[in-house]
Structure formats: structure tokens, C-alpha cells
Amino acid sequence: MPYIQLPEGIPGILGPMAFRPETAKPLNELAEILLRGSSTLSRAERELIATSVSAQNDCFFCQTIHGAVAAHHLGGDEKLVLEVKQSPENAPVSDKLKALLAIAGKVQRGGKSVQPADIDRARRQGATDGEMHDTVLIAAAFCMYNRYVDGLATWAPADPAAYREAGARLATEGYISSTQGLSAAR
Amino acid sequence: MAHIPLTEGLPGIRGLFAFRPETAHPLCELAEILLHTPGTLTPAERELIATYVSSQNDCYYCQTSHGAIAARHLGGNDQLVLDVKRDFERAQVSEKLKALLAIAGKVQLGGRNVQPADIERARRQGATDQEIHDTVLIAAAFCMYNRYVDGLATWAPPDPAAYRERAATVARDGYLSIPANIEAARRAAEV
């Protein structure tokens, strides 16, 4: 049971967002810019970074919904998403993405964990300053979203299949409209 | 040296806001609502929560800048800010704020560390649902800001006195004008 009174049946982060729409707005805008805005990293790559960090933070809701969004961007490749979660260094993704996932993993532990060697590795694989900035901020932001979702003990459906449709909708329509109509449900 | 090239003379998160203005807007809006917009928790209380979490995350820039803002809201009480960082259970703050700081400390460790007993303690001290919500989100958000600032190895002025002037401005005016001010500073630095 959630630690505060949230609308029933609304999963994960959507409950707190319905509770406090004022903070939902910048939270959604941040996600929209970082995960879907114009970037040299593909949407799939960015959602994989978010999913990987959420898995490392052991946040079931976030890793499952963003894993579903990533899979949708990858044409339904749920297996690849699982492989990235389980072992980013061995997954069939580019060496550049592996280097960025390694940076994200360091950020998950703490900002100071990121070493010059991690940055050098990413640069050698062709990562730009913008890509490294966004990787760090995506990882940092998911350390926030994961704590928000679990810190209030929100409810999440257990069956990963339940997230496919929502994942597809987020992938196509984005994060800004994801909470519209929720406040009305309050 | 920062991991990416940043505008000189813009320390901590300010250089990052100059590098990526689009994300600066929601990041500042979130800070404004959580820390400055009137609510049942005072701005001092909320800045103390932010400062405490930042010190737990060992982020010098964030704990010093928000500690200065908290001190400003407290009429210059730097000592209280230090006491909260070192041992909030013994600091001269309300029992309710102690209970909320305890929740924030659990969030800093990880969302699942928050236990029903932590929430019950806060409720016994009169904390409302919104105050609990905002405490969790402030703590979570500072786990983001701290990682952003340190993850890119931004520079932080070592002298706490260097943070006072800007702290007075933020305590008075809040966070919404920061992106525009940074953009002006960035352009001036380019000249």
C-alpha cells in the first residue's frame, strides 16, 4: 500500500503525479526532452540507459515500463532489453552504447564514481560531449524517478505483459500527454 | 576539470545549465515548486532537507549552495545548517522536521529503504500526505542534482562565503529566473 493517499488502480509514478500535478509537469518535460527530444542518440538508446539504471536501482515499475518503451523503439525486441539489463557489456549493442551504459552505471552509484577513464572510453568510441552530458543526466534523473516511485511504495502490476500497451503509447505519444486526464480522475 | 567543456566562471550546476539550456528549464521549475513556492513546509525546512541529502551524497557544491540558501531563510543561522548536516536528531529543529529528515535519509539510500515505521513517525508528528510526498520528491530530486553536478566533475568554489550573495538572491527570488540569467552569463563569457 502506498505511503500516502493516492488514486486507486493507477500504477507506479502516475499515482504521485496525479496527487501533485504541479511537480508532474517539470518531471514529464524533463523525461520528454531527455528521452525523446532531438539528439544524436536514438530514442531506443536513451530508453535503454534509463532501463539499465532503473534495473540497477531495483525499481520494478520504472525498469519494466521503460523497458517496454525501449522494446517498442526496437521493433519489439524484448530479448535485447533483457540482455542489456542483465549484462550490458555482453549485449549486442554498439561499443559506444556499452561505454555510455558503463558511465550510467557509475552515476547510479554516485556522481564521483565516474572516472576520467570512463569518459575516455566513451570518447574513443565516438561519444560526443552532448551524448555524455545526456547519459549522465538521464542516469541521474532515473535515480530520482526510481526513488520517487519506490519511496512512496506505489503499486505496480506484476505482469510485464501489462506494460506493453502503455510502453507503445509512451513511445509514440511521449511523456507530456501521459498524465493528462489523470487529475480529472482524482 | 569537468568531463565536458563548460563555460568558465560558471561553477557547479550553472555551467551545466549553460551547456544544455533545454533541460535547465524543467530542472529549475522543479526546484522552484519543491523549494520556494509557498507550502505548509517553510522554504527553510525544505532547503534543509535538500542540504541534508546533498551532504549524505557528499556533493560539496549542492550542500554548500543550498546550505547557504537555508541559512539565509533562517536569518543567517549557519550553525543550525551545520548541526542538521552533522546530526539532525540533535539539532534545534522541530520533531516533525526530524521525522521528515529521517525519511529523506532513507530515500537517499534508495526508495525501498523507506519503511512504514518512518512514515508513521512523521504522521505522529503531524506531517501531512503532501509534506511526506514533497519530502520524498525533494530527496529524490537531490539524488539527481547531486549526481548531475558530480557525475560531470563540475568545479565548486571551496570557500563557503562565495555562495552567500547568490544564496540571498535565490532565497528572495526563487529559481525560475536562473535559466535566463545563465544564458546572459554564457553570452557575456563568449565575448
CATH number at residue B122: 1.20.1290.10
Which residues span the domain enclosing A143? 40-175
Instruction: Measure in Å the smallest separation between the Cα of B7 and chain A Cα atoms.
Output: 13
Whether residue B4 lies inside any domain: the answer is no
pLDDT tens digits for range A1-42: 999 999 998 999 999 999 999 999 999 999 999 999 999 999
User: A136 falls in which pLDDT band (50, 70, 90)?
Assistant: very high
* Matching residue, cell 554516485: A110
pLDDT in tens, B34-46: 999 999 999 999 9
Put simply, the answer to whether B23 touches A34 (Cβ < 8 Å) is: yes
Q: For residue B1, tell me if it sits in a domain.
A: no
- pLDDT score, position A185: 47
- For chain B, how many structural domains are there in total? 1
Closest-CA residue to A69 (of A146, A177, A169): A169
- The grid coordinates listed for B56 are 549524505
Q: How many domains does chain A have?
A: 1
Summary mean pLDDT of chain A: 95
Q: Which residues of A touch B145 (CB under 8 A)?
A: 140
From the list A3, A5, A137, which residue is nearest B148 (CB)?
Answer: A137
Assigned C-alpha cell, B68: 547557504
Overall pTM > 0.80: yes
In this prediction the ipTM stands at 0.98
* In a domain? residue B116: yes
CATH classification of the domain holding A75: 1.20.1290.10
Q: In the prediction, which pLDDT does A127 show?
A: 98
Interface test with B, best of A41, A144, A145, A146 (most B CBs within 10 A): A144
pLDDT value of position A182 = 62
The answer to whether residue B7 sits within a structural domain is no
Q: Confirm whether A27 is domain-assigned.
A: no
Please tell me the distance from the alpha carbon of residue B147 to that of residue A124, in angstroms, as a whole number. Answer: 23
Closest CA to A58 of B109, B175, B78, B149: B109
Classify residue B102 as exposed, middle or buried by CB count within 10 Å of its CB (0-12, 13-18, 19+).
buried
Q: Which domain holds residue B33?
A: 12-190
How many interchain CB pairs under 8 A, A with B? 146
Question: Which distant-in-sequence residues (6+ apart) come within 8 Å of B157 by Cβ?
Answer: B11, B163
Residues 6+ apart with CB under 8 A from A138: A34, A35, A46, A49, A50, A53, A104
State pLDDT tens for residues A46-70.
999 999 999 999 999 999 999 999 9
